[in-house]
Amino acid sequence: MINNKFAFILVLSLGFILPSFSQVIDSLKIDTAKTDTIFRTIPQEDSVLRIRNLNPYITLHVDSTLQYKLDINKDQSKYYWFLTNSPVGLKVDRNSGLLTFKAEKAFFLSGRLKYDLEYKVDLGVQNLDDPTDKIDTSFTLLFFNTEIIPSKIKPSVNNILYVDEGDSISFKVQCEDGNFPIENITMTSNYPLKTIGTVAKCGDDFKWSPPFGFVKPTDKDKQREVIVNFVGANKFNVRDTATIRIVVKENINYPQKVLEYNEIVRSIQNYSNRLKATFMELDKQIRSTRGTRTTFDLTSAASSLGGTVFSSLPTDGQKTAGKILPSVGVAMVPVKESVSPVKKEEQNSATLVRNSIKRLDYLLQNNVLVGEKDPELVNKSQKLRDELKQIQLQLIEVPIVEFGDSPEELDKYFNNPKVAKKYRMKKS
């Protein structure tokens, strides 16, 4: 019973307490809602000036138009806009912040604007009433063109050049820049060339001097064609090639050829002096033989004449001598042929040698150089060389002697009228 009473009293107590507690809770809920409503209705002031929609990187196509409205977080009527170091044609409305630009192609053709060049534009917005309330910022503007203008290599000469051996050729390798300039140049040729300097970039000079002997005897028309290619490449490895054809003509190396000519002349003069010495020895032998035979002929004639004279004398001894002397004269003839036979070979050799000497003298006189750069220098040298070889072959069986006398004495003997008279053609 006691327990039941206690439980009843507890329930009644709770019945009175719970309504009042719920009212307190409800009152607390209402106050919290009011407090949250108060916080939400209080505005937070944005005191920092900001540009809400600035794009830091703007790209434009050529012949396109830009209209970009800049917006700030404050009343724009109290602010003005301005640009510094802006590219030509870019404008901003000072009151509304409207950024405008028309990328006309004339700007790029005149060089006032360039493709693929980043222009950094400084942008500012300023409060009209408060100088400290301002923003200074920047953005990048880039122009591009879908029309690709290729860069080309433009040498400063025509594509065909003519040059002689020993001369030099020089020209400048220039470039015509397009959207992307040529950054490096590579030179190739169909023959290895030893140039002065290297063509590696635009504006370099090509200098080359074809050496003597560059044109070979087997080359057609005595000239050789050299093909030089200049291959330029930009940063994207797009190439352009310029081809120059250099026609090298055969030319005379005058300093060397003059030395060769003088050497041939000295050889001919030395050989001519040896021939003159040989002629002098042959002529002396012929003259000695002729003198001996003349002596025998005179002796034989004197014996025959003496025999006739003695035969007419009265004494017998004298008549006997007159009979013997003619026989003595007849006997002198075989003795003459035996002691001093006629030297026909020497005579013919002396005549051949003398004619060869005359021929060499004529060749030297007829092939004298006319100035330091005689255009017939090579032909004259070759002619002298061939004639000398031919004469040496003709006289290959004639023993040539070394001369001990001076060239002046040899010339004096050779040009002696008495000597020349013996080898002169006589009228029949």
| pTM (two decimals) | 0.48
What is the overall mean pLDDT for the chain? 78
| Predicted confidence (pLDDT) at residue 225 exceeds the cutoff of 90 | yes
Residues 245 and 277 occupy one common structural domain: no
What are the residues facing 244 on neighbouring strands? 228
> What CATH number is attached to the domain comprising 101?
2.60.40.10
Residues near 265 by beta carbon (within 8 Å), at least 6 away in sequence: 364, 384
Token pair in block for residue 91: 């404008």
Does pLDDT of 4 surpass 80? no
| Residues 160, 114 within the same domain | no
Task: Judge if 279 and 246 occupy the same domain.
Answer: no
pLDDT at 21 (0 to 100): 40
Residues 156-214: tens digit of each pLDDT = 999 999 999 989 999 999 999 887 899 999 999 999 898 888 899 999 999 999 998 89
Tell me the three state secondary structure of residue 345.
helix
Tokens (6 digits) for 38? 């108060």
Q: Do residues 84 and 122 make contact, with C-beta atoms less than 8 angstroms apart?
A: yes
pLDDT, residue 280, reads 81
81 with 93: CB under 8 angstroms? Answer: yes
Query: Looking at per-residue confidence, does 79 or 297 come out higher?
Result: 79
**Pairwise pLDDT comparison (288 vs 218), residue with the higher score:** 218
User: What is the rounded CA–CA span in Å between residue 90 and residue 222?
Assistant: 65
In this structure, the answer to whether residues 279 and 407 fall within a common structural domain is yes
Q: How confident is the model at residue 75, as a pLDDT?
A: 86
In a domain, 39, yes or no: no
Question: Which residues are CB-contacts of 275 (< 8 A; sequence separation ≥ 6)?
Answer: 353, 356, 357, 360, 395, 400
Range of the domain at 163: 152-251
Q: Please indicate, yes or no, whether residues 136 and 165 belong to a single structural domain of this protein.
A: no
**Mean pLDDT (whole number) for 63-91:** 88
Q: Where among 219, 251, 283 does a domain terminate?
A: 251
287 & 378 share domain: yes
User: Counting Cβ atoms within 10 Å, is residue 384 exposed (0-12), middle (13-18) or buried (19+)?
Assistant: buried
Q: Give the number of domains in the chain.
A: 3
pLDDT tens column, 98-148: 999 988 888 888 888 888 889 999 999 998 888 888 889 999 999 887 777
The residue among 103 and 16 whose pLDDT is bigger is: 103
Is there a domain that residue 25 lies in?
A: no
Instruction: Tell me, yes or no, whether 138 and 169 share the same domain.
Output: no
Predicted confidence (pLDDT) at residue 309 exceeds the cutoff of 60: no
In a domain, 214, yes or no: yes
DSSP string, 367-408: T---STT-TTHHHHHHHHHHHHHHHHHHTTTS-PPPP-S-HH
- What six digits make up the tokens of 134? 């301002």
Cα 144 to Cα 61: distance, rounded to the nearest angstrom: 5
Q: Of all helices (H) and strands (E), which one includes residue 353? A: helix 344-366
- pLDDT at residue 24, rounded to an integer: 40
